[in-house]
Structure 1
Amino acid sequence: MITVVGEALIDLISAESGTYRSAPGGAPANTAVALARLGVPVSLLARIGSDRFGRQLRSYVGSRGVDTRDLVAAQEASTLAIANLDGYGHAEYDFYVRGTADWQWDPAELPDPIGADVTALHVGSLALAMAPGADVLEEWVARQRERVVVGYDPNIRPALAGERAAERARVERQIALADVVKASDDDVYWLYSENRPPRPQDAPEADGAAAPVGADPFLEEAARSWLALGPAVVAVTRGAAGTLVIGRGAAAPMYLTPEPIEIVDTVGAGDAFNAGLLDALGQAGALGAAGRARLAALTPDELAVCVGHAQRVAAHACRRVGADPGELEPAPLEFPGRGATP
């Protein structure tokens, strides 16, 4: 069982008509749904509001195959995220978060210790950034980390972020609790540079070919510094330009490019990537306390298999409206020297 921890909220997504449609979302909820779509046993540890949106969220995650055993019934209203899409399907967000259910964690609401059947926690996003609950969750994760592999995605939302130096310190402190870190290049540049360079590679070329891939020394330096904080694997996604990945068993940075696709929207793409990466690591035997040594020893070829799977899952999300990647029936992964997983 993988337990995903954090917010489940409502996305209001812009349409060409100038209207908005509502859809269940929140990065952790999206990751949990994508894991369930992959056939991975997964639970969502989230505070669900008492309003109509909360009932919609509870019904949605359960109907997608997510175990609801860890959902907490909250009296507060649900959080709303307003997603405005540009011509490439990329989203910018505004939020209604004051006093909403997702951030009001009490230690008594968290399973301590985590269930014996849980092999990994996936954490991050707004739930580990928003007071007052962020500190409660961070302390809880610190107490569980010897029992499970911890995945972390900072998923910075500038509209809600605090002062940059304080956010950088928070993220680095939380990275030190993690075994697997995934971030976007937007996250890294926001944390460490006020002026990021333009990136025309974010969209596919007009003829449908893959965008050009080039090394990014700035991202590499950040990834190396994060690896030094304690994780075994760090991945930085760069949209159509591919993924930078570095690991303890593969110290040289690798750039892995996904197959080009026609993008409908990118809502939930990073969350689907997280799900695919965790699924692949599970198939590689690199989850659970017993899998931590295996995780640290993954070779470049094995990491490439894991990241390639994550990219394909993310592509499914990008081909559809909304964060749900839809039905997924991937073949078992084949790892160099090991063949396909059973």
Structure 2
Amino acid sequence: MTATPGAQPTPRALVVGEALVDVVRQLDGSIENHVGGSPANVAIGLGRLGRPVDLLTWFAPDAHGELVRRHLEDSAVHVLPGSDGAGSTSVALATLDETGAATYTFDLDWQVPAGTELAADVVVVHSSTIGAALEPGGEAVLQLLGQARSQATVTYDPNVRPALLGSAEQMRPLVARLVELADVVKVSDEDLAWLEPGVALIEVAAKWATSGPGIVVVTRGGAGVVAVTSGGVHVEVPARTVAVADTVGAGDSFMSGLIDGLWTAGLLGAERRGDLGGIDAGTLTRILERSARIAAITVSRAGANPPRLAELI
């Protein structure tokens, strides 16, 4: 993209992590293919909300990979060069239960494309645990996030997948390292219960908010959302009532809404790190309410299909 001489570059988001195909097995035995992967879903959500967004990922130039590429392009996500160098595109088999909740098994290959560098116009970098856990790409993701802190807000969703990542005991040190690198953490109550069984969710969130992040948000399904900040703010937002088609991509679309809301509030970029932790309760509540609305639209339809900006006006 060519910039006008003397003009400031347009701020962009960078999302790092897996893009794959969710092969969804319905209760009636039918199979549907949906593009998925938590980071890809977050990138798609941001693109549909009108934010310039790059995705650093790993898929193949095969039939599943072309499905991934077309879906990303349809949502205005720019796939960074080298992201299509895999031998085969990763697949997640999602099996739905009677409530629409999904359980997953994975066939996943992950690397960071060679020669990756952080562009100067990036103001926020998002990732999840899988990209940092799986080698050979994991250590490169951690290095990239560490480098990003000098210019960008770092956001993180643990999005743990025990079938892929191993035990909570194995994952806790890595999750702790990623939380310390992050400025904003969004985590589900299920993930927290798996990581810290028997410990109150708000206790874990408050502890995390003293270890690096300015904001820690816990999504609790029908129980709504709770957030704590390093500045001592505590906010709760109720869930929206909606007929659930399935929960695929719900947390990812909430994450997109959270990043978008902080962007609108002018709180992204390394220079705003102190202001981010000092966000006031009213601003944070408005951001969480809109994020919950975005997630509610997503769960009302099949697959990871977040709303476009026009649907929210």
TM-score, length of structure 1 as denominator length? 0.84
- Structure 1 match to 2:299: 318
Counterpart of 2:195 in structure 1: which amino acid?
Answer: L
- The CA distance in 1 between the partners of 2:70 and 2:191, in whole Å, is 31
- State the AA in 2 paired with 1:165: E
Which residue in 1 is equivalent to 2:166? 162
Conservation of the 8 A alpha-carbon contact between 2:17 and 2:128: yes
- Code of the aligned partner of 1:24: V
2:202 paired residue number = 220
Give the CA deviation at 1:47.
Answer: 1.5
For structure 1, the residue ranges without an aligned partner over 5 or more in a row are 197-216, 333-342
Structure 2 counterpart of 1:254, one-letter code: V
Q: Tell me which residue corresponds to 2:131.
A: 127
Q: Match for 2:263: what amino acid?
A: G
Is the Cα contact below 8 Å between 1:43 and 1:70 reproduced in 2? no
Indicate the residue corresponding to 2:8 in structure 1: none
Whether the aligned pair in 2 keeps the contact of 1:128 and 1:137 (CA below 8 Å) is yes
Alpha-carbon contact 1:220-1:253 (below 8 Å) kept: no
Query: What does 1:200-279 align with in structure 2 at a 5 Å threshold?
Result: 218-249=200-231, 251-279=232-260
TM-aligned CA deviation for residue 327 of structure 1: 3.0
- Pairwise CA RMSD: 1.6
Between the aligned partners of 2:307 and 2:235, the Cα distance in structure 1 is 29
CA contact under 8 A between 1:48 and 1:71: conserved in structure 2?
Answer: no
Compared CA separation, residues 152 and 296, structure 1 to 2 (3 A) = same
CA deviations 1:159-207 (Å, max 9, x no partner) are 11223222011100111000000010111110111xx6xxxxxxxxxxx
Is contact 1:31–1:275 with CA below 8 Å preserved after alignment?
yes
Q: 77, 86, 92: which one pairs with 2:88?
A: 77
State whether residues 57 and 79 of structure 2, in contact with CA within 8 Å, keep that contact through their aligned partners in structure 1.
no
Return 5+ residue gaps in structure 2 as ranges: 1-11
Q: Relative to 1, partners in 2 of residues 1:17 and 1:45: Cα closer, same or farther, differing over 3 Å?
A: same
Which aligned pairs between 1:113-124 and structure 2 lie closer than 5 A? 114-124=118-128
Return the alpha-carbon distance in structure 1 between the equivalents of residues 84 and 33 of structure 2.
21
Q: How does 1:3-152 map to 2 (within 5 A)?
A: 3-70=14-81, 72-97=83-108, 100=109, 103-105=110-112, 108-111=114-117, 114-152=118-156
Alignment partner for residue 265 of structure 2, among 270, 284, 296?
Answer: 284
Moved more, 285-294 or 265-274: 285-294
Assess if the C-alpha contact under 8 Å between 2:129 and 2:175 holds in 1: no
Query: What percent identity do the matched residue pairs reach?
Result: 37
Q: Residue 142 of structure 1 aligns to which amino acid in structure 2?
A: G
For 2:51 and 2:86, the matched residues in 1 are separated by: 30
How much has 1:70 moved relative to structure 2? 4.7
Q: Determine helix, strand or coil for the equivalent of 2:306.
A: coil
Q: CA deviation at 1:254?
A: 2.5
Counterpart position of 1:190: 194
**Paired residue secondary structure (2:159):** coil
Distance 1:109 1:179 in 2: 26
Count of residues in Structure 1 that have an aligned counterpart in Structure 2: 302
Tell me the distance in 2 between the aligned counterparts of 1:121 and 1:71: 18
Question: If the length of structure 2 is used for normalisation, what is the TM-score?
Answer: 0.92
**Does the 8 A contact of 1:179 with 1:230 survive in 2?**
yes
